[in-house]
Structure 1
Amino acid sequence: MKTIPSGRSAPKSCPSALKATVAVLAAAGVLSSASVWAQQGVAVQPGAQDSAGASPAGATGAGDAVAQTGAVVTVTGIRSAARNAQAFKQNNEQVVDSIVADDIGKFPDKNVAEILGRITGVQIIREAGEAGNVVIRGLPGAVTLLNGREMFSAVSRSLFLADIPTTMLSRLDVYKSQGVDMVEGGTAGVIDVRTNRPFDFKGYTASLMGRAENRDKSSATDPQLSGMVSNRWKTAYGEFGALLGYSYQRGRYQDEAAWVGIPLSIENGLTGPDTIGRTMTGGDRKRWAGNGVLQWRPNSDVEVFAEVINTRIEHDAQTNFFLGQLPLNKGATIATVPGTNYLQSISKDGADQWTLSSTQGRRQYSRTTQAATGATWDVNDRLRLKTELARTTSKFRNQNPIVDIVGYMPNVSGSIDNGVGSITYPGSDITTGSNFFLEKFFDQHGHDEGSSTDWRLDAIYEPANKGFFREFSGGVRIAKRRATSIHGIEGSVNHPGAYSPNQVMINSIPGFTCLSPATAGNYGIAQFPIPCAGYLLNNTSDLRQTFTGTTTPNPEDPLSYYADIEKTQAIYGKADIAFDAWSVPVDGSVGLRAVRTEQDLRGNSLINNAVVGASTKTTGTDYLPNVALRARFRDDLQARFTWGKATQRPAFVDFNPGLVLHAAGNTTLATGTSGNPSLKPIESKNMDASLEWYFAPTGSVTGTVFSHEFKNYIRRKSTPETYDGITYDVSRPYNTSDGKLEGVEIAYKQFYDWLPGWLSGFGVEANGTYTHGGLTEPDGKVNSFAGMSKWAYNLIGLYERGDWSARVAWSWRSRFVSEYAYRASQYDLVVDPMKSLDASVTYKLTKNVSLTVDGTNLTDFKYKDYHSVPQLARDIRRYDRTIGVALRWKN
C-alpha cells in the first residue's frame, strides 16, 4: 500500500450558488481576489511535503513572497505556514488548532509554551523569565506529547513545554478533542510537539541562528544559539536521511512582587494585614537541547526511523524575601479606605518594629533523554502496520539553602493604595543592614528520578469494497513508568545567638551581605539587605557549621520518599465511516480505547512516632469512546461534531501516603502535606460542535461550542489535624463530586491580498474564547475552576511583502481566581485581567540571511491580585520586558 487515501466521497456543492456567494463577499471586501480565484478553481502552486511525504491539501512551499503568474498563485512564507496549519485543521477528524513553522527556526518565541499563547482557547502565564504555565479553555489537564509519544520531566506526567526550543519544531498541534488512537491522559486536550525529520526536506538543508536578548529588569543581555543540518541520499540499499539539531539558551531574569499579608480582624472592627513585603526573584538559566534523527526507506513499502532528543538545564536562582511588620495595637496613626473598614495607612514613630529579610538560594539541575525507534510497513495495498518503541529517563536535583535575618526598625510607615502595598522606615537607612542579625537556617535539598519504556503497534486496513465503512484501524500500547522522589528533612534551626546578647550581626561575616535588586516600581523602600545567594550556595557547609555546629547536611526525610511503579496496557479500535445525510456528505470515525492501569505505590508513614513503610497496589480499567463526524456542505463550508471520554491520572506526588509536617515559625503557620493513595483518575466527557468556513487557502472563520463534564476532579484541601498535641493545617488532594465547563470559541484569519501596493501584505488573526462553569464543592457551592478566565482573546496583525515580514500580537484574558481559601483563610486570591503585547520584524538581507528584531511584554504588564475584594490587595508583580536581535542563515 503506497498511500492510504482518506476514502471520503467528494462533497457536493452548487456551483451557481457558490459563485453568487463569492461574488457578493468579494464586492463587500470580505474576500481577497486570491480567495475568489481559489473558490473558482484557480490553481495554487504546490510545495512543501508533510512528514509522511505527502503534500497536505492546500499546502505550499516555504519562501518569503506572494507571486502571480497567469492563473497560478504561489503563496509562501507566513502565508505558507498559515495555509498548511489551516489545511491540517480543515482535514483533521478531531478539533485541532496548529502553528506551522514558516521557516526553520523562525518562530519568534523562544520555547513551545510561549507559542501556545497565540492559539485559540489557550492562555499562558510568564514568570521566572519565560512562559511555563499553560491552560486550555481555563483547564490545566492537558497531556503533552513529543511526536505523538509521551515525554516527561523527572516525576511529572508531561513534558515541560518550556524545555523544548522552537528551533526544533516543524509543527505544534493543540487537540481540543482526543481520538482513541492518541495516548490517553488529558481531560483538557492534547498538545503534540512535532520536530523536524530529514525526509521532511527535499535534500541537503542547513540552518544557523544567533540571537541576543536583553531583559530590562535584570539588566542582562544573553546569547541564544541554534543550528540544524539535514540531508538524504539514494543508495543501492534504499534512501537514507539524517538530521542533527542543537540549541543553547541562556536567560538571566528578574521578577519582582510587592505584597500584602492576609487580612486580619484588628481592633475596633478594622480589617487589614499585619505585614507588607517584597519578593524579588532572579536567576540564571542555561538550557541545552539536542536531537538526532535517522530515517531509512529501503523500498516504497517500508520506512524505518530512529531518533533521540536530550535536554539539560542548569539553573541558579534566588528569591529575596522581605517582611515588614506593621505596628498594630501600638497606638499607631491609622486611616481607612473611605467608606470601608479596610486599612489604608498606618505609621508609628518609636515602634521598634520586628523586620525580616531572607534569601532562598536554588541550584537546580535537570536532564531528560528520550530515544525512540519505529517502522511503517505497507504490507499490501490495503494494510499498513506501524510500530514504535521508546525509552525515556529523567533526573532532577535541587539544592536550596535559606537564611533568615532579623532587625528592629525604630520608625515604620505602611500604606495600601490602588492594589499596591508600600512600606518605608522614616529616618533610617535600612540598606546598611547594620542592625540585622542571623536568625534562622533551612538546609533543603532533594532529588527526583523518572523512567519509562513504552511500545505500541498500530494497524490500518482499507476494505476492497468501500461502503459505509471506509477504513478500520486498531492498536495496542504497553508502558511501564517509574517515578521516585525524596528530599531533606524540612524545617529550620535557629542561630544559637539569635535574640540574645550573642547575636551575630550580618556585617561581621565577610562576603555574606548583599543588597537586593532594586524594584522597578515605587513601593516604598527600593532595596533591602539580604544574605548573598552566591554565599549560600557556595558556602553551605560553613552555614551548617555556624547554625548547627556540624558540616553534615540535613538528612533525607523518609516521610517525603515515594515511589510509583505504574503499568498501563491499552487497546483501541476505530472505524472510519462515510455516508450521505439528506444529500450532505458526512464522514468521520467511531472508536473505543480501553486502558488498564496497575499501580504499585510505596512510601513511608509516621505511626506512634516511628517511620513505617507503606505500600498500596491499585488496579483500574477505563473505557474511552470517541465519535467524530464532519458534514461537508460545500468545499469551503463544513460542520463538525465530536464526543468522547477522557481521563487524567493524578500527579505521582498526589499518591504519596507519607505525611510531612512543618512546625510554625515567625512567618509561617504549622502546616502539613500528604498524598492520597485512594485518588481516582479525573474523568471528563467532552463535546465539541463547530461550524467552519474556509473561504480561502489562508482565510477562515470558525466557531466552536464545547462542553466538558467532569467526575472525580482533584482539588487540594487543608484541614486541621493534631499530632503530638500540635494542630497543623494539613493539605491533601481529594476528588470532588462533579464539575462542568461550557463555552464558545471563535476564530478568524485572512490576508488582504486585494489591497493595492504595499497594503496587500497585511493579514489578521483574531480569536476569542468564552467559558463558564465550575466545580461543585462538598457544601454544594459551585466555584469556577481555579485559573479559568471567563473571557480571553488574541489579536495578531501580520505583514509580509517582499523582503519584509512582521507580527504584532496582543493577548488579553479577564480576571480569574488563582486559589480558593488562600492559605486556609476565608479569602480567595483573585487576579486582575492579564494582557501582553509582543512583536517581531524580519528583513531578508540576502536570499539566505535574515535579520529579526523582536520584543515581549512591550507594555511592561503588571500582574495584580487581591484577597476577594480589590480593596484588600495581595500583590503586584512585574516581569522582564525583552528585546531580541537574531541573525538567521539557511542554505
Structure 2
Amino acid sequence: MKMKLTVMALAGAGLLSSASIRAQDAQAIANKAEAAEAAAPMNAVVVTGVRRAAQSAQAIKKNSDEVIDSIVAEEAGKFPDKNVAEVLGRVTGVQIRRSGGEASDIIIRGLPGLTTLLNGREIYTSNNRNLHLADIPTTMLQRVDVYKTQGAEMVEGGTAGVIDVRTSRPFDFKGFSASLAGRVENRDKVNTNDPNVSGMVSNRWKGTYGEMGALLGLSYQKGHYQDEVTWNSPPSNTVPSDPTITGPVDLGHTNTRGERKRLSANWALQWRPVREVELYAEGWSTRIDHDRQSQFFIGTLMLPAYQTQYTLFPGTRQIDSATSTGDLFALSSNQTPREDSESHQGAIGARWDVTPSLRVTSEFSRVSSHWKQKFPIMEMNAHPRTITGQTYVNGGARFDYPGYDMMDPNNYSLGALIDNWADSRGQSNDWRADATYDFGDEKLFREVSVGVRVAQRKAAYQHESQNFLANPGNLPAVSAIPGLTCPSLPMAGDYGMKQWLVVCDQYQHANIDAIRKMYGRNGQTAPDPYSMYGNNEDTSALYGKTRFGFNAGPVRVEGTAGVRVVKTELDVNGYSLIDGQQVAVNRKTSDTDVLPNLTLKTYFTDKLIGRINASKSIQRPAFADFNPGISLGATPDGLGIYGGNGGNPDLKPITGKNADVALEWYFAPTGSLTATVFKHKFENYIVRSLALETINGNQYRMDRPRNLNDGQLEGIEIGYRQFYDFLPGWLSGFGLEANYTYMKGHLVDGGKEVPFAGMSKNAYNVNVLYERGPWSGRVAYNYRSKFVDTFNYRTIAAPIGPIDLIVDPIETIDASISYKINDRMGITLDVENLADRTYNDYHGIPSNPRDIRRYDRVIGLSLRWKL
C-alpha cells in the first residue's frame, strides 16, 4: 500500500523520468566538444562537421558505463544517410539487409533480439515490438546510440542490444535555429526522380517565468523502387524412375515495384522556471502510404506427367537443364498490397534537483499505432506446350517457352482471385519515476539510483476469411475485358522470358467490387476467427543501482552494480482449430525476472581504458507470435503440399546471460582503437521453423515459432577511427573509420547443434572520410559473410533430407561528396549501391540456388540551408 501511495504521489507531482534525463546526460557529453571549440584560442584548430561528429561519438563511447557505439549528426539533422536503418549499417557489430528500396532487417552481433527506444522510451508497431527504423528520417535526429550492454535503469528487453534514437530538443541549441533540406533521388531500375523535403525550426528564450524553448520538425519523403528476382523452387526427387536425381519442380521470376510516401513530424517544448526544475513535452508521429505490386511468373519445369529430357551437372545427380512437353502449368500472378500505417508517441516529463545531491525525475508516455492493408491477387493461367529451363544461370533460373507468345492475351485464361485484407492496432501507456543521490566522487559509493516503471500494452490483429476464390467456370476471356492486362516489368538480366502479361494493379483496386461479383462474392469478407488475437501485457519494474569508484594503486577504477526486477502479466486471447472445431483459447501467465548488471571500468591511463560488463537480459516474443490461430493456404505446390503458418500462445521470453570484456585506446580526440570480446548464453531462444502437419486430411508445410532450451554466441569486435591531421597539405583531410566483427555460435535443437538464423561469421565496414575546407566526402564499404536465412527450410525425402536456406556474402558500396557553399548553405551528391550489388541464396549447397535479386542504384542530390 505504501508503494502505491508513493507512486501516486510522485505521479501527481509530475516528476518525470530518468529515461530522458539519461539521454540528456549523454548529450551533455557530446556537447563537450562544442564547448571546447567555443573556448579555444583564436589560433587553435576549430573542429567542425565530420570531425566534430566523430569526436562527440567517441566521447560518448569513452565516458559511458555500458558498451556503446554512437553516430552523431555533423550539424542539426545532417547524417550521412537518409534514415536510421541506413545509418546503423556503419556501426560496429551491426548488419542490415536492404530490400524494398531501403534498409530493412537489422541485427546486432548476428542476432535480431533488439529493442528500439525513441528518446529513451519504448516504441513499437502494432504487430511487432520494434519500430521500423527506416520510418525515422535522419533530418530529425541528434544522434543514434547502439547499446551492446544494458544498465539496470534501462527499459528491459533486447538480448542482442538496444537502439536508442534521439531527436533534437530546443535546449540543444544556443538560441534560434532553423534548417531546410531538399533532396531529389534517381533510381535506375524504376527510372524515377523522387522528392524529399524536410525542415526544422527551434528557439529558446528567457522571460519572466524562466527559460522556455519550442521546436518543430517536418519531413516528407517519396520514393519509388524496383526489385528483380529470378528463382528456383527447392530441390525435389523429380524423376520417378531414379529417386537419386534431384532438381526444382518450378522456376520463376518476380519483379516488385513500389511507391512509399512518408510524412513525419516531431515537436518539443521545454520550460526551465528555475535552474533546479525543468518540464518538457514532446512527440513524434509518422504516416506511411506504401503501394506495391509483385509480379510473379511460375513455370513448372518437371512433373511425372510431363515428357522430360534433362542433363546433369557433371559429376553430380543434380539436374542442370531440362526440356519438358505436355499440358504445362504456367501462372501469372500480380500481388498488389496497399498499406497505410501511422504511429504516434507523446510524452510529458520533468526533473527536479531537490538538493545539489538529489535529483528526482518522472515521465508519462503513450504510444499508439494502426496498420491496415488491402491486398488483392489476381492470377492468370497460360497454356504452353513446351518449356526449356536451366536451373543455375548467374545465381538464378533461366527459362523460356519456344513458339509461345507470353505477351498475347489470347494465350491466357483467368485463374483464381485471392482477396486479402488485414488490420492491426496497438497502444501502450508507460509511466516511470526515478531518484538519484550523489554522494560525491571522493566516496567509495558515489551515487545511488532507484526507480519504478509501470507499462500497459495492447495489441490486436485480424485478417480476411475465405480469401481464395477459384474460377467459377463462367468468366469472360482475358482479351474481352478492357484494361485488364498490362505488360510486366522487363527483366534487366538475361533470364530467358523477359516479359509476360499480368493483371494491372490499378485495375484490381479500382474494380475490386466488380471483380468480387464476377467470382460470386459480394463485398469484403468478415475476419477469419483463427487470425484474430488480442494481447494485453502489463509490466511493473523496480530497479536499484549504485555507482562506485576507488584507486587500486595508480589505477583508477569505476563501476556500477544494479538489479532490475520485472513482473510481466500476459493475457492472450484467440481461437484455435482442435479436431476440426473452432475453440476459444485464453492464456494467462505471470512471470518475474531478476536482471542483475555489473560494470567495471579501469583507467590504466587517461587514454587506455579496460571494461568488464556482465548482465542478464530478456526478450519478449513478438505480439503476433502468441496468436493461437493458424492460417492455411488454399492451393498446393507441385508436390501436393499446402502452405500454412501459426503462432504459439505458450511461448516463453528469451533469457540472455551476457559478458563483455573490452580494451579501448583513445590516442586522440578523434582517434581510437578498441576491441571487445563478448559471450552470450541463451535459454528459451525463439526460432521459426517448417514442419509437415496433416490438417483436415491435407498435408501442410507449417511455419510456427517455438522455444529452444539452449544456445550460445561469442565473438570479438575491433574498431578503429583516426583523422590524419599530421599529413601535409590536402592529405591532412583524410580520415578512416573501420571495424570488424567475428562471431560463432549455435542453438541446440533436439540434441543437435544448429546455426543462428541471420548470423554472419565475419562482418566489416571500411569508411574512408575526407574533410578539408568547403569539401567533404566519404566512401563506405560493407561486407558480411554468408549466413543461414532459414534453418530447416525444407524437409525433402531421401537422399536430400532437411536443408537450410543460405545467403551468399553481401557487399555494398556507397559514396557521397559535399560542398559547403557558405556558412548557411551546402550541397551533397551521394550514390547508394555504387557497385550494383546482387543478393544470392541457395538451398543447402551453392549448386542448388534459390534466387538472385537485383536492386536499384540510387543517386541523390541534396541542397541544405540553415540559419
TM-score bracket for this pair, using the shorter chain length: over 0.9
SS in 2 for 1:332: strand
1:462 and 1:471 in contact (8 A); partners too: yes
The question of whether the paired residues in 1 share the 8 Å contact of 2:238 and 2:302 is answered with no
Contact between 1:58 and 1:87, CA under 8 Å: does it hold in 2? no
Match status 1:133 vs 2:105: yes
- 2:840 alignment partner, one of 844, 850, 864: 864
Maintained 8 Å contact 2:657/2:680:
yes
Aligned to 1:339: 315
Q: Secondary structure at the match of 2:340?
A: strand
Aligned match for 1:721, one of 682, 689, 693:
693
C-alpha distance in structure 1 between counterparts of 2:611 and 2:308, whole Å:
66
CA distance in 2, matches of 1:62, 1:512: 65
Alpha-carbon offset, residue 426 of structure 1: 1.8
Which residue does 2:808 correspond to in 1? 832
Pick the aligned partner of 2:665 from 693, 711, 715: 693
How far residue 413 of structure 1 moved from its aligned partner, in angstroms, is 0.9
Match of 1:196 among 147, 153, 168: 168
Task: Measure how far apart 1:678 and its partner are.
Answer: 1.6
Query: Is 1:616 matched with 2:591?
Result: no
Matched, 1:650 2:621: yes
Q: d(CA) in 1 for partners of 2:642 and 2:222?
A: 38
Letter matched to residue 488 of structure 2: S
Q: 1:735 to 1:281 in 2, by over 3 A?
A: same
Write the distance in 1 (CA, Å) between the matches of 2:28 and 2:688: 48
Q: Residue 799 of structure 1 contacts residue 806 of structure 1 at CA under 8 Å; is this kept in 2?
A: yes
Quote the residue 1:170 is aligned against.
142
> Paired residue for 1:484?
460
> What letter matches 2:453 in structure 1?
R
Show CA shifts across 1:826-855 (max 9, x none).
221111100100011110112211010001
C-alpha displacement at 1:130, in angstroms?
0.6
1:144-191: CA deviation from partner (whole Å, max 9, x where unpaired): 000000111122112110111100000100000011110001000000
Taking the aligned partners of 1:53 and 1:828, their CA distance within structure 2 comes to 43
Of residues 380, 384, 387, the one that matches 1:405 is: 380
Q: Using the TM superposition, give the Cα deviation of residue 432 of structure 1 relative to its aligned residue in structure 2, in angstroms.
A: 2.1
Distance of 2:163 and 2:650 partners within structure 1:
28
Instruction: Name the residue aligned to 1:631.
Output: 602
Q: d(CA) in 2 for partners of 1:62 and 1:855?
A: 34
Conserved? CA contact 2:440–2:447, under 8 Å: no
User: Are 1:207 and 2:179 counterparts?
Assistant: yes
Provide the residue aligned with 1:114 in structure 2: 86
Cα distance in structure 1, aligned partners of 2:788 and 2:83: 27
- Write out aligned runs for 1:421-432 (5 A): 421-432=397-408
SS of 2:517's equivalent in the other structure is: helix
Matched, 1:599 2:570: yes
Q: C-alpha deviations, 1:776-818, integer Å up to 9, x for none?
A: 111x221121010000000000000000010110000000110
Partner of 1:259: 231
- 1:517 paired with 2:489, answer yes
1:410 offset after TM fit, Å? 2.6
Unaligned 5+ runs, structure 1: 1-48
Answer yes or no: is the 8 Å Cα contact 1:67–1:75 preserved in 2: no
| Distance in 2 of aligned mates of 1:602 and 1:270 | 47
**Corresponding residue for 1:296?**
271
**RMSD across aligned C-alpha pairs, in angstroms?**
2.0
The AA in structure 2 aligned to 1:860 is D
1:439 matched to 2:411? The reply is no
Which whole-Å deviations, capped at 9, do the CAs of 1:85-126 have from their partners, x for residues lacking one?
Answer: 000000000000000000123213111001000000000001
Given candidates 59, 83, 98, the residue that maps to 2:32 is 59
Tell me if structure 2 keeps the 8 A contact 1:603–1:613.
Answer: yes
- 2:65 pairs, out of 87, 93, 102, with 93
Indicate whether 1:585 and 2:561 are aligned.
no
1:754 is aligned to 726
What SS does the aligned partner of 1:430 have? coil
Relative to structure 1, the CA distance from residue 570 to residue 200 in structure 2 (aligned partners, 3 Å threshold; closer, same or farther) is same
Indicate conservation of the 8 Å contact 2:689/2:793, yes or no. no
CA 1:66/1:126 → structure 2, altered by over 3 Å: closer, same or farther?
Answer: farther
- Which residue of the partner structure matches residue 15 of structure 1? none
What residue identity is the alignment partner of 1:61?
Answer: E
Separation in 1, partners of 2:299, 2:414? 17
Q: Gapped runs of 5+ residues in structure 2?
A: 1-21, 797-801
Check conservation: 1:209, 1:887, Cα contact below 8 A. yes
Determine whether 1:381 maps to 2:356. Answer: yes
- How far is 1:732 from its partner? 2.5
> Percent identity between the aligned chains?
50
- Give the match for residue 368 of structure 1: 343
Contact kept in structure 1, 2:487 and 2:500, CA below 8 Å: yes
1:660–1:304 Cα change, 3 Å = same
1:635 is paired with a residue whose SS is coil
Map of 2:248 onto structure 1 = 273
- Please state how far the C-alpha of 1:55 moved relative to its aligned partner: 4.6
Distance 1:70 1:400, change over 3 A: closer
| Whole-angstrom distance in 2 between the partners of 1:507 and 1:362 | 25
**For the residues of structure 1 that align with 2:739 and 2:440, how far apart are their CA atoms?**
43
- Residue type of the partner of 1:204? F
Residue in structure 2 matched with residue 4 of structure 1 by the alignment: none
- In 1, the alpha carbon distance for the partners of 2:794 and 2:784 equals 25
One-letter code aligned to 1:657:
P
TM-score where L is the length of structure 2: 0.94
1:887–1:66 distance in 2 versus 1, CA, 3 Å: farther
Secondary structure of the residue that 2:606 maps to in structure 1?
Answer: coil
Amino acid at match of 2:259: D
Q: 1:661 deviation in Å?
A: 2.8
Cα distance in 2, alignment partners of residues 454 and 51 from structure 1? 19
Displacement, 1:409? 1.1
Give me the whole-angstrom Cα distance separating, in 1, the residues matched to 2:686 and 2:763.
25
Q: Aligned equivalents of 1:420 and 1:660: distance in 2?
A: 30
Structure 1 position 537, deviation (Å): 1.6
Greater Cα offset, 720-729 or 634-643: 720-729
Contact 1:566 1:600 survives alignment (8 Å): yes
* 1:75-86 alignment, distance < 5 Å: 75-86=47-58
1:653 is paired with a residue of what secondary structure?
A: helix
Maintained 8 Å contact 2:447/2:546: yes
Summarize deviations over 1:361-381 as a string: whole Å, max 9, x none.
Answer: 101000111110100110001
5 Å-filtered alignment, 1:737-748, equals: 737-748=709-720
The amino acid that maps onto 2:542 is I
Match runs of 1:27-66 below 5 Å: 51=24, 55-56=28-29, 59-61=32-34
User: Structure 1 residue 123 and structure 2 residue 99: aligned?
Assistant: no
Question: What secondary structure, in the 3-state scheme, does the structure 1 residue paired with 2:421 have?
Answer: strand
Q: Which moved more, 1:414-423 or 1:252-261?
A: 414-423
1:328, CA displacement in angstroms? Answer: 4.5
Tell me the distance in 2 between the aligned counterparts of 1:118 and 1:609.
Answer: 51
Amino acid at match of 1:654: D
Structure 1 pair 806–66 and aligned structure 2 pair: CA distance change class (3 A): farther
Where does residue 683 of structure 2 map in the other structure?
711
Name the CA shift for 1:247/1:697 in 2 (closer, same or farther; >3 Å). same
Q: Verify: 1:248 aligned to 2:217, yes or no.
A: no
- Once the two structures are TM-superposed, the CA of residue 51 in structure 1 deviates from its matched residue by 4.1
Q: Structure 1 CA distance, aligned partners of 2:599 and 2:43?
A: 37
